[in-house]
Each structure stands twice: as structure tokens, then as C-alpha cells.
Chain A
Amino acid sequence: MTISRRGFLAGAAAGTAGLVVSFYVPGAARAAAMTPTPASPTPNAFLRIGSDDSVTVVLAHAEMGQGIWTGLAMLIAEELDCDWAKVRSEHAPAAPVYGFPGMGLQMTGGSSSTNGEFDRYRTVGATAKAMLLRAAAARWKTSPAKLTAQNGVIAFGGKTLRYGEVAAAAMALPPPKSVTLKEPKAWRLIGTAVRRLDTPEKITGRAQFGIDVAFPGLRTAVVLRPPAFGATLQSFDGSDALTIPGVEQVVKTANGVAVIAAHFWAAKLGRDAVRATWSTPEGGGVSTAALLASFRDLAEREGAVVATTGDLKPTLAGAARTLDATYEVPYLAHAPMEPLNCTVKIDGDRCEIWTGTQFPTVDQGAAAAILGTTPDKVTIHTPFLGGGFGRRGNPASDFVAEAVTVAKAAGVPVKVIWTREDDVRGGYYRPAYVHRVRVGVDAAGAPAAWHHVVVGQSILVGTPFEKFAVHNGVDATSVEGIADSPYLEHTAAKHVSLHSPRTPITVLWWRSVGHTHTAFAMESMIDELAHAAGQDPLAYRLALLAGKPRFARALETAAKEAGWSTPPPAGRARGLAVHEAFGSIVAEVAEVSIEDGRIKVHAVTAAVDCGTAVNPLGIEAQVQGAIAFGLTAALHGKLTIEGGAVVESNFHDYPMLRMFEMPAIRVHVLASDAPMGGIGEPATPPVAPAVANAVFALTRQRLRTLPLRLAPEAR
């Protein structure tokens, strides 16, 4: 594979000896409208090689657990042929050069970091290697083609040079016009199990998260926010707060009150002591019970057309049998373990921000707008993210904009820390959805007519992404995985429509976005059809997937490894599901029982086709984690809103999956030459339907609402 360069830069970063490589790929400018400024003067490099042979990889994306700290470094190291023991990673600052190829925006999300950077990061490594070889060749007065390089050492005729010894000379050379990347069979690192580079700091407490930022003069703020969606601040009295030792200031935010103190504890006590009056939301405030009822009503009517094929009505009328089902999922909070936080230091028209963000470009623009300055004057430092799951990538920049407002009002550097209660109640949720599905089957039980109405809030309307993914009233992320379902390839008549009601509740993508609910509806309904046809759920699916070998292979592998053809232990049953998300296909088999009236998931067996598998050890971890994330939603997750206010507040009433509930998980990564997909999210969607399908197999109870709740008689 040959990649040609464009806009290549090579130059010294301030204070760094050695080779610095920065690279723009074609397409980075395509979404230039989303890039707020031209190249900023920050050291815009992807790679530094020090005279001490150290190799520092600069990450355009944020490490939030998904393993790119290691995976993206592997891409550069593969082509660079350096000593892996000398490789370190660091987060890039926010700057246009780090915009995502094809998008321009610097962001982490959509399970896209590894596949989206696969070419760019390998090219950086190959380019640097070519320059090092030419520098060495010049030293030895020979041709670069006669040199070999391995493990960071260049060799020629019995002589050797370490990369660090020629890095400075290499830096002075013009970069090659093009480089040839290795063929996959020549890979030494890609495809092997590589342990994480961020382990040493994360097992010793040295890892710096946003909440750990500290410097002289920094104050901590805790903010009082509206008690209900739609409530606005009428007045406040901070006099009691100011009597608390350590509390220094009480300031107003856009729609709240911030208490600034010497440390968190004083700020929190101060916040709790603020007396505020709020307006009553319109109509007494939104409630999820009423909203879901209205969603169910909407589901009886046609919405905006997502896809339509064939003639639905006559096909339904002529079907051998029709099945109806309504599936529902609630609002969910992301609840990353590190509560949201953001540190802001304003200095004249400049501003420094430290925060765990998935959206530095957007946050930079939001901060600049509040401060009346330009984005290039806003420096964003990204420490490790203590989980993101979508919550730290908000088009509205809520937690960053608020912190900038607080720091501006306070006139001192401030770290705003959200309490867990603030996080659970602080909005931006996975939206609730209702799916109404009516299927007409033919004499063999296969779907001949598929009528599907989806109801739920759009995530993208009103954001900068609207123009990319919302067309004719349809937010593609609301319906992903339905009309394009592999099961419906031969379904003669299909009609899918969407209602996107607007509510006061703020919503956001949540690990695997629309697939979180579409996979539950699709894989549950397919299972219902299989049972209605009196067929084995695996055999029924495989028959529909006859022309979809990747899906079929994933399903067959998961089923075989889970022992599908042999009976489960007494008192247990198995269920399966397969779904494609972010370019990867994941099949899962769940084995469940009922213990003490509760669903117990004993094992999940997963088969993954993600195309090229860069780091199988990391992929296994992401699949395990995504299954845990999906199980939390399947077994526990539900937010209730009454009178505009969120009822749940912390882990006692908004529970997470715990160790004793964690099933044994076996992950099979399939060898695949398919285009590389993502891996952070795709294993989440199949687990809820796999568990629901297993519960049906065990109890004959079809649970169509998440979280799954058994009827009393089955407990």
C-alpha cells in the first residue's frame, strides 16, 4: 500500500531534540466548516523520537479505557520498527492538525479511533523510518536501500546506529513524497496481543485524571443546578454558604449557583447551603411515565419515512400469520466512574482548560465564545478520562462551558467537580425509545412484511452533526440497524418510520447509540418469529442469513463455543443475538437461570468479526467491558423523571453491574479480511436481547421492556 503525503511538516517542537513528525492526510479539510481556526502554533506533531531513543506518540484521540493509548502507538511502531519498550503515548492538545481524517473535528467516539487512524498513524511511522534511514545513509555515505532497521537500530555492513543517534539529522531532511506501508503478512506488532502502556500509572495511583488536576491558586467549585428540566433560577441567597470555613465566593452561573472554596468538601457543603428559588417548569414538568405513554400513542401512527420497500398493506393482509410487539427502553445516564469535572484558568484573552473530553474542538469553540476570544487562544489539556461512554463528548459542551463561566465570574482558576448526584441528575441521557413492530410471516415462518414504527428523541437535531446525519426528518442514529438489518434482505415489503418528539430532557449518545435499542427490538422480534415458527432460534436466523456469511459465521461460532447443540445445565437456558454496529459484527450467546426471583446471567460467549484485529488482548477487554455495560442496562438501568426532576441520584438507586453479577465471558475474535470496524461499542447491543431471549427460553415469558423484569409468577 502506498500513501502519498500532503501538507507534510517536519520541524522541531519546542524543547524536544530529535525527529518530530506531523502529517495531514487528504480529506482532513473536507469538513473544514467544522474546523474553527487555521493551524494553531501549538507543537503539531504525531511523533517525537528523542536522542535517548524514546519514541513518543501523540494521540489525536483520548484514552478513556478503550485502549488507544496502546493501539494507536502500535500502528506507528509497526511501521517505524522501533523498540516497543521505548514507546510512550501522550494526548495531543486541541488543535486543527489533530482533526479526524474526513471530518476535521478532533474527537473520540463512534468506535472510530483505530480504524479511522489506521492509515494516518502507520504513515507517520513509515515516514519517520524513511527519514531516519536517509539520515543514516548520509552518515555512512551509502544508499538508504542498502540499510536495514529493526528494534530501533539501523544496520549496514556490520555498523549500527540507534534511531536516537540520527533523529536530529533526520529532522533536517525533507520528508519523502510517498511511503509504502507493510503488507499485512509483514506485520510484527499488529495482530499480536500487546499489554497496555498505561498500566504502570493506573496501578500506582499516579495516573492523572481531570479530577486530579492541582496547581497553586486553584480553587474547587461545586454548582447548584436546576432541580428540574425547564426550571430557571429566580433568586438565590449564598449567605449561609459563605459562613462555612473554606468557602470563598458564591457566584451565579448561566442557570445556577457556584460555590467556590479552598477544597471540594467546603465547596460541597457550601453548595448544599445555598438557598435558591426556581421557576416551576411548564405544565408542572416532564414525567417519563407520561412521556412513554405519549410515545406509545405516537407509535400507532406513521412517522417520517425511514425506508419503504414493496407493498406493505397487501403483503401483511396476505401473510400466513402476523405478530405484533412493542419494545421499550428507558432514559439512561452514562455514569462514568470519574464524575464530570473541568478546570479553567483564564489569563487575559487566553484560557487554559484541563478536562477529560471526547470533543476538544467543540469545547475550545464554546470556551472561546464565552470569553469573547478565538479558539486558538484556548489551550485544552486532556488528562486520562475516567470513562466517557459518550457523556464527555457533548455538542453543547455543558460541563466545559459551565466551568468557563464559573472561572470567569470568580476571577480565579477553578476546578468544577460534579458530585455523583449531579452526574446522575445532570441531564444528557440515552433517550427512551418505543418500537412498535408488526410482522407478517409466510407459510415457512419467514418475515414477508415488516412494519416498524420508532419513537424517541433525536440526539443529533440541533447539533453540528445534524447536517451530516439527519435527512428528511430522520436522524440516522435513531434507526440504525433496522432497515439495514441482515434478516430483512429478502423481506418483500418493509416500512420503517420514525417520530422524534421534542421534550425538555437533554439527550446524548451512550455507548453504541441507536444500536442500544434497535438491536433489542430487532433481535427480540426475530426470536419471537423463530419460536412462533416452531424453529430453533439459531437455525431460524441462519436460514435468513443465507446471503450474509459474516453474520452467519459469527452466530455459528458463538453458538458452537457456547454449546448450543447440547442442553444447558438444569435450570438454565440460552439465548442468542447478533448485531452489526460501527462496522463490526458481534454475536453473543447468554446462559441464564432464575435465582431468588432474579435473572442470573452465568455466561456470555461472544464471537467478533471486526476485520483486522490490531490488538486481540485489547479487543477481548473491550468486548468484556461492553457486555458488562449492556448488562447494566439489561438488568438495572432506568431513570425516572417526575415533575421535571430525576428521581434517581446515586449508585444505590441507579445501580451498576457488580462483580457478583458478572458472567464468565468468552471472546472469540474471528480472523477476517473485512474492512476494519470499531470495537469500543459493538459488543454492547447484542447482550440485552440475548439475555431476554434466554429468559424466554427458560420461562416462556417474553420481556419486551428494559430493564428486564420478571412477572411475579415466574420468580
Chain B
Amino acid sequence: MAIKLHVNGAVREVDAPDDMPLLWVLRDLLQLSGTKYGCGMAQCGACTVHLDGQPVRACVTPVATVGARKVTTIEGLSPDGSHPVQQAWAEVDVVQCGYCQSGQIMTAVALLAKRPDPTDADIDAALSGNICRCGTYVRVREAVHVAARLQRGGK
């Protein structure tokens, strides 16, 4: 059935069954492939997107439950990679294979919105739902601190 979604600032209409996960609507119907499939059961965080700024696992979010909430994906974070979290990721040279990083970044953005100056414990708590098989965790942690500084206007 036709479902209206607010994605990255635009209204999109998709023809999808109610129970189709938002992840596959984004990837297969809206061609927004930056959000990744990793486990399909909210275990790995690769599919993390924001609904009204809250991080959710798109792989277990039926599209019909999204409603009027605004969906933000990695593609909607900035047009050019200039979001402070993306800048921090580049500065710290975080990525390896890169597959999980959309999810890591979306989770970090949501954390910083809630806690502008997170401790290591805050970071561990927020990001332990995001698995990185390459083991970039040390640099993810560092990059979140750098992003916090950038968001405060520091250098």
C-alpha cells in the first residue's frame, strides 16, 4: 500500500507492505543505500537512522509505524560530509572497511545531541550497540570526543 514518509527533508511515497522494515524501504525502494543491513534483528546497529532525532534500528522498524516522524539517514546528515561528527571521523581516520560507519556516525550524532560533552562511559553505553568487525572502536571513541569539541566550536 502507499505510504508517505518524510525522509531527509523530502516527502516520499512508497508502495510497500506495512511490515516491510524501514531499512529495506530506504535501500530497495528509495535507493538510499548508505544505511546498511548487518543482522536484521537489532543486534549490530549498521542500520541506525533517526526518527525525529532518536536513533532507531531500521531493520526492525516496520515502515507503517514510522508515521509522520522525520527520517534522517546518513545521506541526510550533510550534503558534503561537513557535519561535525563526519569531520571528526575524517580527522581521526576512523574508518576501515566502512560498512558499519553509517550506523556508528548516526548513533554518535544522536548521543551528542543528548550529551554535548560525553564521557568514555557515555560513549561506551551509547555505541556498544554498534558492532564494528574491523575493530575501529578506539578511534570511534576518540572521534566522538573530537566531534564534541567541534560542535562546541573548538578546534
A: which residues have CB within 8 A of B?
63-67, 195-196, 198-209, 211-212, 214, 220, 245, 262-265, 335-339, 384-389, 417, 419-420, 617, 621, 624-629, 650-652, 656-660, 662, 664-665
Q: In the complex the two chains form, is B89's CB within 8 Å of A203's CB?
A: yes
What is the interface of chain A mostly: helix, strand, loop, or mixed? loop
Nearest-CB distance from A620 to chain B (Å)? Answer: 9
Q: In the complex the two chains form, is A656's CB within 8 Å of B105's CB?
A: no
Contact of A658 among B38, B40, B128 (CB under 8 A): B128
Q: In the complex the two chains form, is B95's CB within 8 Å of A203's CB?
A: yes
Q: Which A residues are CB-close (under 8 A) to B105?
A: 203
Q: Which B residues are CB-close (under 8 A) to A335?
A: 133
Contact of B134 among A65, A211, A262 (CB under 8 A): A65
Q: In the complex the two chains form, is B137's CB within 8 Å of A386's CB?
A: no
Nearest-CB distance from A270 to chain B (Å)? Answer: 13
B: which residues have CB within 8 A of A?
17, 20-21, 24, 27-29, 31-41, 43-44, 46, 73-75, 77-78, 80-81, 86, 89-90, 93-102, 105, 123-125, 127-141
Contacts A263-B29, A338-B38 aside, 19 further interface pairs with beta carbons under 8 A come to A65-B95, A195-B90, A262-B28, A263-B28, A265-B17, A265-B21, A384-B97, A385-B97, A420-B39, A624-B135, A624-B138, A625-B135, A628-B134, A651-B39, A656-B133, A659-B124, A660-B124, A660-B128, A664-B138
Q: Which of A617, A621, A629 has most chain B Cβ within 10 Å? A: A621
Q: Which B residues are CB-close (under 8 A) to A665?
A: 138
- Complex CA gap A256/B93 in Å reads 42
Q: Which B residues are CB-close (under 8 A) to A652?
A: 41, 43
Nearest-CB distance from B73 to chain A (Å)? Answer: 7
Q: In the complex the two chains form, is A195's CB within 8 Å of B93's CB?
A: yes
B21 to A, closest residue via Cβ: A265
6 nearest A-B pairs in the assembled complex, by CB-CB distance: A205-B34, A628-B135, A386-B99, A65-B97, A202-B98, A65-B96
Q: In the complex the two chains form, is B95's CB within 8 Å of A198's CB?
A: yes
- Complex CA gap A651/B47 in Å reads 14
B16 to A, closest residue via Cβ: A265
Q: Which of B73, B75, B137, B141 has most chain A Cβ within 10 Å? A: B137
Q: Which A residues are CB-close (under 8 A) to B133?
A: 335-337, 387, 389, 629, 656
Q: Which of B80, B99, B123, B137 has most chain A Cβ within 10 Å? A: B99
Q: Which A residues are CB-close (under 8 A) to B137?
A: 624, 628, 657-659, 662
Q: List 29 A-B contacts (CB under 8 A).
A: A63-B97, A196-B93, A199-B93, A200-B90, A202-B101, A204-B34, A205-B32, A206-B34, A262-B28, A263-B29, A265-B28, A337-B38, A337-B44, A337-B99, A384-B99, A387-B97, A420-B40, A621-B96, A627-B135, A628-B132, A628-B135, A628-B137, A650-B40, A650-B43, A651-B131, A657-B135, A659-B127, A662-B135, A665-B138
Q: In the complex the two chains form, is B138's CB within 8 Å of A387's CB?
A: no
Q: In the complex the two chains form, is A200's CB within 8 Å of B138's CB?
A: no
Q: In the complex the two chains form, is B28's CB within 8 Å of A626's CB?
A: no
Q: In the complex the two chains form, is A337's CB within 8 Å of B131's CB?
A: yes
Q: Which A residues are CB-close (under 8 A) to B35?
A: 205
- Complex CA gap A212/B34 in Å reads 8
Supposing A625-B134, A652-B41, A658-B131 touch, asked if A338 and B24 sit within 8 A by C-beta, the answer is no
B143 to A, closest residue via Cβ: A203
